[in-house]
Chains A and B, each alone.
Chain A
Amino acid sequence: MRSAFKTLTALACVTALAACSGGDTTDTSSGTTNDGASGQKVTITVATFNEFGYEDLIKEWNAANPDIQVEHKKAATSNEARDNMNTRLAAGSGLADIEAIEVDWLPELAQYPDAFVDLNDPSVEGRWLDWKTQAATVDGKLIGYGTDIGPEAVCYRADLFEKAGLPTDRDEVAKLLEGDWDTYFEVGKQFVAKSGGVAWFDSAGATYQGMINQMEAPLENTDGTPKPLDQNAEIKALYERILQASVDDKLSAGLSQWSEDWTAGFQQDKFATMLCPGWMLGVIEGNAEGVTGWDVADVFPGGGGNWGGSYLTVPAQGKNTDAAKKVAAWLTAPEQQAKAFASKGTFPSQVKALEDPAVLDFSNPFFNDAPVGKIMANRAQAVTISPYKGPNFFAITTVVTDALTRVDVDKTDDAASSWTKAVDAYKALGIS
């Protein structure tokens, strides 16, 4: 019996490939500790998309931490990364140890906090802007470490401003646009009157995006119940105001964002301003290459606003969640995020990084050498609201943006008939 037991133990050791060096050991559990603290080597996978700017950081980590090696898995676009993540969450396996997510996915993921490890830790307290942390906190549980944010400013074409008799200097433009959305629309009307066919902004949908991110609870009550669209007077007023400005006052170029026409519009002087979060600068620079006159003003209608940004989460199905948490904490530390900003322009969400000279001194020659680091840092400080986005936020907001698109871009409906369709579409969702 004893020899049989020994044989079994030896077999177990072999199969576990564990460090059963002494032939007489009977402790079969010694090979299964995986927390990375016992000198055991672990590999942590990090799944990201688009550009997180982590390539060099991961090399740096791997060189300094032989025990915890990090492997980077990339997907091109956030849509693909999202399909990937949802499939793996649904199948219950296959997720990376650290999964990057966009802020927009939070409402649906937040319904399943158990799928993620609680990342609260005294060492990271106060690391991020309050509203950034707040959006990823579910019942006191922190499900993601903030990486970057998208504080919004106004990008404008100084050359087109000049032709229409508006100031061109970025400080003067900031002063001119200082105020609420009415101010922004009023200046737009002055511009359009003299611009000779150039619109004020690209689309009604983008404007809606900017406005709704300044509301505390736009489409749902904070307890998670949806606000029926036909009774949501606030949204209806906002809808009418946007379409009044876009269509009746002809401020919108009617180009839905990311479409072929929109991309071409940058080269054809179709519009003079855009609401631009930090990450949009690269998009403008690429689409408008060769166009001179773009600049950034340190202002945003109605105060501050944030659009987009990401987090790192640690899915609970992983085997090495402690080590993963450590890596995620390191990657999202202010020093690292400042380096990521320098390499790929992802604007940091960490309080300390916003004071980092590497961020503040950053300027962009395409935007007439605008000090975009300083401007975006100011814009980030101006954000005060993290809008409540519950489980049905995306279903409802799609209904509203579709309604805007029908009037602004497709021109198949007027404001009233499109709203009726939206109310029907809302009812068809079957969520109230």
Chain B
Amino acid sequence: MSNLTGRQRLSRLEVKLSPYLYVSPFFIVFAIVGLFPLLYTAWVSVHQWHLIGGQGEMIGLGNYTAVLEQPNFWKSLRNTFSIFLLSSVPQVIAAIVIAYFLDTNIRAKTFWRMGVLLPYVVAPVAVSMIFAKIFADQSGAANALLALVGLDPIAWHGSAFWSHVAIATMVNFRWTGYNALIFLAAMQAIPREIYEAAIVDGASRWKTFFSVTVPMLRPTIIFVVITSTIGGLQIFDEPRMFDTMGTGGSDKQWMTLTMYIYELGWGAQKSFGRAAAVSWILFLIIIVVGAINFLITRRIASSDAKGARR
């Protein structure tokens, strides 16, 4: 220690402390606007707690067990996963494909790139109107098209499956271009000489895509898969806007978990305690599904990378 000059010691301290300093802004903001709400919610979830009436008796895990016994909880869990699968899988694939096409030496790059992002810019009220007009059961464009080709109309609201398809379409519409740009930014970071090497080796474009692009995108794919898992399992706006009541249909056929939370806390019952309990259950589900997705994605992407090196 005594061998070190003052400057070196300072530098060492700098190396040790600066990482913490750099990540601290996030944790400070999070402590105020994230951690307190999280702990508050946990506290609420072990009480009988009316939204307006406030805190009641402490009932331990009573809210959790009560909620797990409700058929609507399981129904909304099913709906959430169904909509999540119908939206995230096609969306990630389409986004990579679009990014792949954008990552070429096309003319008017700004134009194409900004164009892809437009659905994200349009106000939700406009988006919900458009889809209300497309998926209306009697007067909608989708069923009008089906009728043109001689098919029976689809019960977009009555049937659980088709309502999920319609909602997933709304989600995909808004977020595919957004994810495509995320992939594009990552593709731009791939050193071009790797491509050149692959082409020199005589690899087809298809093979280059799978053995070079996809493995190199690994961190980004992990990022997109995890954020869309988190966003997808919390899906709220689209199913809520799917009809004017916003309660998930007459048979709760498209009520998702976050809508269920809202319904419990802000709806007729105003049971803030139960809503908090479902929030925590959802939180845990997301962590588990996110971790599983992380492991799967890492596996796929790294086995591809190995294949590429061979």
Contact = CB atoms under 8 A, between A and B. Distances in A.
Interface of A: 79, 83, 86, 89-90, 92, 108-109, 111-112, 115, 255-256, 258-261, 264-265, 268, 392-395, 398, 401-403, 405-406, 409-412, 421, 424-425, 428-431
B72 A405 contact: no
B250 A109 contact: no
A2 B178 CA distance: 69
The 4 closest A-B pairs by CB, nearest first: A410-B158, A395-B268, A405-B250, A264-B139
Contact of B71 (A256, A392, A428, A431): A428
Contacts of B136: 259-261, 264
Contacts of A430: 66, 70
A428 B33 CA distance: 34
B251 interface: yes
A109 B52 contact: yes
Interface in B254-274: 266-270, 272
Contacts of A109: 52
Contact of B266 (A86, A256, A261): A86
A198 to B, nearest CB: 14
Given A260-B136, A260-B140, A410-B155, A83 B251 contact: no
A138 to B, nearest CB: 14
Given A108-B268, A115-B52, 17 more contacts: A86-B51, A86-B52, A86-B266, A92-B54, A259-B244, A260-B133, A260-B136, A264-B136, A394-B268, A395-B269, A398-B247, A410-B158, A410-B249, A412-B158, A412-B250, A425-B72, A430-B66
A90 B272 contact: yes
B52 A112 contact: yes
B137 A111 contact: no
A260 B53 contact: no
A431 B158 CA distance: 28
A402 B132 contact: no
Contacts of A86: 51-52, 266, 270
Contacts of B71: 424, 428
Interface residues of B, number: 33
Contact of A259 (B66, B158, B243, B266): B243
B72 A428 contact: yes
A255 B157 CA distance: 12
7 contacts: A83-B266, A90-B52, A90-B54, A261-B137, A406-B250, A411-B155, A412-B251
B241 to A, nearest CB: 12
B270 A108 contact: yes
Contacts of B251: 402, 406, 410, 412, 421
Nearest to A403: B250
A91 B271 CA distance: 15
A83 B51 CA distance: 11
Contact of B70 (A255, A393, A428): A428
B227 interface: no
Interface string B150-181: 00000101110000000000000000000000
Given A260-B136, A392-B268, A412-B251, A89 B70 contact: no
Nearest to B160: A412
A137 B246 CA distance: 30
Contacts of A112: 52-53
B188 interface: no
A405 B250 CA distance: 6
Contacts of A115: 52
B141 to A, nearest CB: 11
The A contact surface, by secondary structure, is helix
B181 to A, nearest CB: 32
B24 interface: no
A263 to B, nearest CB: 8
Contacts of B303: none
Contacts of A265: 138-139
A425 B73 CA distance: 12
Contacts of A259: 136, 243-244
A108 B272 CA distance: 14
A425 B249 CA distance: 13
B158 A411 contact: yes
Contacts of A268: 139
Q: Residue among A90, A109, A115, A258 with the most chain B CB within 10 A?
A: A90
Nearest to A115: B52
A395 B249 CA distance: 15
A284 B54 CA distance: 41
B78 to A, nearest CB: 15
Contacts of B133: 260
A261 B139 contact: yes
Nearest to B139: A264
Nearest to A424: B71
A394 B268 CA distance: 5
Nearest to A261: B138
Contacts of B140: 260-261
A248 B276 CA distance: 44
Contacts of A429: 269
Nearest to A395: B268
B248 to A, nearest CB: 10
A99 to B, nearest CB: 13
Contacts of B70: 428, 430
A412 to B, nearest CB: 5
A84 B133 CA distance: 29
Nearest to B137: A261
B157 A410 contact: yes
B158 A260 contact: no
A299 to B, nearest CB: 29
A432 B211 CA distance: 62
Contacts of A89: 51-52
B260 to A, nearest CB: 12
Nearest to A268: B139
B129 to A, nearest CB: 9
Contacts of A394: 267-268
Given A260-B133, A260-B139, A394-B268, A108 B52 contact: yes
A32 B249 CA distance: 53
A44 to B, nearest CB: 23
Contacts of B52: 86, 89-90, 108-109, 111-112, 115
